[in-house]
Amino acid sequence: MSRPASSPAFAFGTCLARGTATLLSGQLVTGEVATYRTSAIGKVYTPSPFMSALVHDALACLDPGSAQAQESALWALPVEKRRAVAWSAGVVRARIRRFLKWQEEADGTWCFYGRGSTLGPDAATTACAALAVARHTPQPIDRGSARWRTHRRALARFRDPAGPHFTFVAPGGAGYGWIAADGRKVVGFDRIVNAHVMRFLAAAGEEDDALRSYLRTEVERGDRECGSPEHPDPACFAHAVARAWAETPRSDAPAIASALIPWLLARQDEDGGFGGPLSTALATLSLVDLGYAGNALDRSARYLMATVSEAGEWDYQPYLAGGHGSPAFTTAFALAALAGCAAARGDLG
C-alpha cells in the first residue's frame, strides 16, 4: 500500500535499491516483466514484449552497460547501493533482451501479445523491441549490419507514403491505426506509436523528415489532453516525443521544449504528482528529456519517494487502453524518474 505524499517514505538511494531488487525478484523466468489488463474478472496476466521493451528502456539510466546510463545519479549513491542497483538493473535488462530475442518473428518484427499472435506484428512493439536488441552490444554499433537492416525493412512496411506509420498492417497490405471497441479496424495514425518509430529510425541513422514534420504538427496542435486511442494518458505522448528528440539533437528541439514544458508544469498537482505514480514518472522523465531542471523536479521526486511501498514498488496505474500495466511497470518508470531528477538537480538525499 502506498504512503500519503506528505513526506518521503524512503531516501533516494533506498528507493533505487529496493525498487531494482523487487523488479529482479519478480521478473518471470522467461525474462518478461509481467503486465496485466483489466477484464470482467479483474486483472488478467497478458504477455507483452512491448511493455517489457519499455521497461528495458526505462532502466537504461541505471545500467552502467548502457550508453543511456545516468552516471551522476548512480554516483550519488553509497558504494554498496550503487553496486546493487547497477547489478540488478543490468540483470533485469539482460533478461528482457533474452525474452525479446525469443519473441522476434522471422521477418524482424514483433507482436504486442507475443510471437505468433493472431493480432500480428505492430510498429510500436517492433520499434521498441528492435531498439533494445540491436543497440545493446559490447561492440560499436554497426548501423549497416544485417540486424539493423532487417529492422528498418520491417518498419518500412508500416509506413504511409505521407510519412506517418500505421500501427498495424492487415494481411492484404492495408494499414490501420487501432481496433475499435466493436472490433473494427480503424484507419488512422497513433502519434505515440510514431514517436517510438522515429526514435528507432534516428538510432538507426535514418532521418525521416515527413515523419518528424508529422510529429511536430501533433505537438503544436494543442490537443495534448486527449492522449491517443491506445494511450489515453496524456503524459504518454510527451514522454515518447521527449525521448525521441532527446537522443538525437535537432534544430527544432527548443520549439518542442517550449511547447511541452509549460503544458507539463501546468498539470502538476499541489502534492508534486501528475495524477498517479506512472503519470508522474512519465511527466518527470519528459521534463528531464526536454532539458528542464527546475524546482518541479524536486516536487515530483518527493511525491515518488513518498508513495513507494515498503517492498520498493509503486502502485499499478494503466499505461494502455484496456488497463494494461502492472506495479512492476510503474516501478521501472518511477526509478528512472528519480534517477533523472538526481542527474538534473543533484543528490536527492
pLDDT over 70 (residue 141): no
Q: Quick one: pLDDT band at residue 173, thresholds 50, 70, 90? A: confident
* Beta strand extents in the chain (DSSP E only): 36-39, 42-45, 168-169, 175-176, 178-179, 185-186
Residue 226, phi then psi, degrees to nearest 5: -85, -5
Encode pLDDT of 241-284 as tens digits.
Answer: 999 999 876 778 999 999 999 999 999 999 999 999 999 999 99
d(CA 229, CA 201): 23
What does the longest C-alpha to C-alpha distance in the chain come to? 57
**Coil, helix or strand at residue 271:** coil
Orientation of helix 296-306 relative to helix 12-26, angle to 10° = 50
Q: What is the pLDDT of residue 137?
A: 60
Q: What residue ranges define each of the domains in the chain, with the CATH number in brackets?
A: 14-345 (1.50.10.20)
Q: What is the pLDDT of residue 5?
A: 46
Look up cell 523466468; give the residue: 29
Please name every residue paired with 36 in a beta bridge, in sequence order, or none if there are none. Answer: 45, 325
d(CA 42, CA 39): 5
Encode pLDDT of 97-138 as tens digits.
Answer: 999 999 999 999 999 999 989 999 999 999 999 999 987 765
Q: What is the pLDDT of residue 254?
A: 92
User: Quick check: 100 and 133 in contact, CB under 8 A?
Assistant: yes
C-alpha cell at 149: 537492416
**Coil, helix or strand at residue 250:** coil
